Amino acid sequence: MRSVQNDGGPSYAPESQSRGERPISPPWCPGLFFRALCCLVCLTAMIAPSPAQAQVNLQFVTEPPSPVAGHPFRLVIAGTAVAFQASDHKEDRSVVIEDETIRVIQKGGVLGFPSEEPYLASVEVGPLSQGTWNVVVDLLDEDGSNLPFAPKAAVELGAIFLGASYRIEGPEVGYSSTAVSFTISRVDNCPSLGEITVTHEPAENGADGTVTIPWDNGCPILPPPPELEVLETGPIGPLPAGRWNIDVVDGRGHLQARSELEVLPTPVLLQGDRFRVEAAWFNNLAADDAFPATAPTNDSALYAFFTPGNWEVMLKVLDGCAINDFYWVFTAANTNQGYDILITDTVTGEEWTYHNPLGTTAPAVTDTQAFPCG
């Protein structure tokens, strides 16, 4: 018998059905079995957790705890992941730095169903610039694609603050009899100035010594309010004559800022501080400033070369104004080293110089018209 359906398409019903008889179930699967199987599948779906419910509970720490801009640090991510198993191979992890974000890309993941799996990753990061950086983890499969039903691909773990910008200001020239001080500033609000140390040893840049000023970064991981912190070092020295590095280091000993200081021998001032006397020696092997061997008097000074105990040159500036209206300069030496003497009249700016060539036994000098008395 032909029947007509709503769509107008032809179809044929079994002859038994046309007579109102019950449809016949397949002989290999009674209808009751179909109903039981359907109920079992539905019940299992309600009880068993789905991979779509996968959750990630991750946190991170840094080594050291307070990383500093301009230096690498280690980022350790640990926690648990439900329905996600990460590869233990380091080559499956990489770090991408973009848009103030530290993105840890974790490949090689597979779905765990439905157990909670531990997760641990340690990666080297930086150096990065100062500022606040977001930490994100991407959980991907072996091919680098998002896992189906896996946790959110980009897991945002929080932010980290990298401080700080150090700056040091102070004199470029000083004298061996006078202490110096410096001003240190940093964009940070947790200063901790350590004990200043002085090391009188040659430095890598040719300096004769180093003053180390430790300023530890005691800030937590999250960024502090940006403030300009300024600290005064207080008096440093007096330092011996020579070139000095004034170094500011962070809590890990990394150099953050440097100022160079030239420490000159304390100038000798004679005749009521009117005449400033400077001396320097030289030979084929070295050259250096001469330094006073003893405290000068009002009109006389004694200079040493090489070491403070090796006295070489005696110098006098005498007031001869009552006699010939001039100041007189006398020198005597017991050396054949080369040396130079510069005497400056601090009132008029006029200079008097003497040069002794290397290898020449220094003669006595008696200049009775060195400076006019005006």
The verdict on residue 349 lying in a domain is yes
259 plus 302 within the same structural domain: no
**Which whole-number Å values give the CA distances from 194 to 86, 208, 260, in the listed order?**
43, 23, 20
Which secondary-structure segment (H or E) carries 292? strand 291-292
pLDDT score for 37: 43
The kind and range of the H/E element at 122 are: strand 116-125
278: number of Cβ within 10 Å = 17
| Residue 170 and residue 158 share a domain | no
Nearest to 151 by CA among 106, 89, 121: 106
pLDDT confidence of residue 71:
75
Give yes or no for a contact between 182 and 213, defined as CB atoms under 8 angstroms apart.
Answer: yes
- pLDDT number for residue 301: 92
**Which domain-ending residue is among 162, 192, 216?**
162
What total of structural domains would you count in the chain? Answer: 3
Convert the pLDDT of each residue in 272-324 to its tens digit: 999 999 898 999 988 887 877 777 899 999 998 887 788 999 999 999 999 99
| Tokens describing residue 3 | 């029947």
Is there a domain that residue 123 lies in? yes
- 366, 281: one domain: yes
pLDDT in tens, 69-92: 777 888 888 887 665 666 555 667
CA–CA separation, 188 and 218 (whole Å):
9
Structure tokens at 222: 């999250």
Residues 6+ apart with CB under 8 A from 295: none
Please give the distance of CA 40 from its chain centroid, rounded to a whole number.
Answer: 63
Q: How far is CA 138 from the centre of its chain?
A: 28
From residue 109, alpha-carbon distances to 77, 92, 140 in Å are 16, 9, 6
Range of the domain at 248: 166-264
Is 276 in the same domain as 256? no
